[in-house]
Amino acid sequence: MNQHLLFAIAGGDLRQQRLADMLALDGFEVRITGFDSSPYINSGAKAFESLAETVNGADCVVLPLPVTHDGACLNTPFSRSVYLMDELYRSLSPGQLVVGGLINKNTYEKAKEYGFKIIDYLEREELSVLNAIPTAEGAIQIAMEELPITIHGSNVLVIGYGRCGRVLAKALQALGANVTASARKCADFAWMRVQGIRTAHTDNLRNIGEFDLIVNTVPALILDEYLLNKVKRDCLIIDLASKPGGVDLSVASQLGLRVIWSLSLPGKVAPVTSGEIIKEAILNIIAEEAMQ
């Protein structure tokens, strides 16, 4: 890759900081803004105060994940200042490449209006796959903290066999758990058998009472009143599904079941690894853009 690229990192948390750091280590020129109160001292990137100065002439402008919480301000948890999205839009040049995470509809519209090119790195498949690793480790950490038994030898159900379910099931199995995974497609059952994992059908979780740990990865109400009533009293339920989540929380609460609903684990449990994963996705985006 062309080492003469100029990156502008505008806002974000430890992940974007680490990303800036590693891009600088890779030999790229890196400008950052919005990290003035960060406890982490970045070695190789150059800090700027104004958004305009930071993004001016950058080959790639990197925005946070999410880009903005309220639509008005850039997401800059490590800054005492406020950065307005409108200022950002005005500072970008037509044709400039901008990447960010969880880009909202309004920002896409502004991209059309102002003519810059915007791509969501969260939609890159390789990022989703690699993010499954910190998600799985985060879930395992929670299980280790909460359960009075070891993962080794425990009976675990992983609901859903997408990226997250696969990586988590594999990691739990590697630690010696007796893992069952559930899915709905024949091909998924075949992959479970390749992996040596017991299979269950997500629509038929009758044996749910056998498990010490249940991790849901499916974004739909799976653990309803009927199933929660069959769950062991000392079972731990971890829900990794985005809103509205996969567990009927009011029923679980009435039954006294422990449910931990964990979202966005990668940034929480392994921000540095997360930053590295985002970096790679961005470099892949740039490489693909260059080939067009």
List the interface residues with its own copies, window 42-101 (CB under 8 A). none
Q: Does 269 bind its own copies (CB under 8 A)?
A: yes
Which residue, 83 or 189, is less far from its own copies as judged by CB? 189
The binding track of 174-213 with respect to its own copies, each residue x by CB under 8 A or -, is: xxx---------xx-xxx-xx-x-----------------
Which residue, 112 or 194, is less far from its own copies as judged by CB? 194
Q: Does 265 bind its own copies (CB under 8 A)?
A: no
Interface residue with its own copies, options 27, 57, 71, 153 (CB under 8 A): 153
Cβ(34)–Cβ(76) below 8 Å:
yes
Which residue, 125 or 224, is less far from its own copies as judged by CB? 125
Which residue, 80 or 187, is less far from its own copies as judged by CB? 187
Q: Which residues pair with 237 in a beta bridge?
A: 214, 259
The binding track of 113-152 with respect to its own copies, each residue x by CB under 8 A or -, is: -----------xxxx-xx-xxx--xx-xx--xx-xxxxxx
53-88 exposure pattern, b = at least 16 Cβ within 10 A, e = fewer: ebbbebbbbbbbbbbbeeeebbbbebbeeebebeeb
Shortest spacing between CB 6 and its own copies, in angstroms:
23
CB atoms within 10 A of CB 24: 20
Which residue, 81 or 284, is less far from its own copies as judged by CB? 284
State how far the alpha carbon of 236 is from the alpha carbons of 58, 213, 228, 248, 292, in Å: 48, 5, 11, 14, 49
CB atoms within 10 A of CB 150: 13
Q: Does 260 bind its own copies (CB under 8 A)?
A: no
Q: Does 272 bind its own copies (CB under 8 A)?
A: yes
CB atoms within 10 A of CB 243: 7
Shortest spacing between CB 225 and its own copies, in angstroms:
26
Which residue, 222 or 281, is less far from its own copies as judged by CB? 281
Shortest spacing between CB 10 and its own copies, in angstroms:
22
Q: Which residues bind its own copies (CB under 8 A)?
A: 14, 124-127, 129-130, 132-134, 137-138, 140-141, 144-145, 147-153, 167, 170-171, 174-176, 186-187, 189-191, 193-194, 196, 269-273, 284
